[in-house]
Structure 1
Amino acid sequence: MGILDGKTILVAGVTLDTSIAFSVARVAQEQGATVIVSNFGRAMSLTRRVIRKLDPEPVLLEVDVTNEEHLAGLADQLREHTDSLDGLVHSLAYANPETALGGKFLSTPWDDVAKALQVSAYSLTSLTMACKPVLANPASVVGLTFDATVSWPVYDWMGVSKSALESTSRYLARYLGPEGVRVNLVAAGPLETLAKKAIGGADEFNTVWGSRAPLGWDPRDPEPTARAVVALLSDFFPSTTGEMIHVDGGLHSTGS
Structure 2
Amino acid sequence: MPVLELTGDLDNDFLVFHGKAAFVDNEILYIQYLQANIVKRSVDSVGVENYTDDNIVGVPVTLLNRILSCPSLEEIDNKFNQTFVPGMTAGLILLNTWDMVNAGIVDPSLNKAQYLTQKAMLDVCKEKKGSTGEIAKYWKKYKPVCHMWAAIFTFIYSLKKKIRPTDTPALVALAERYRDFGENHIFLRQGVSGPLITPGTCWRAPDDYTQPDVQMSVNPRADIEKKLESYKTEKGWQR
Larger Rg belongs to: 2
Higher relative contact order (CA 8 A, sep 6+): 2
Give the structure-1-normalised TM-score.
Answer: 0.27
Q: Which has the higher helix share?
A: 2
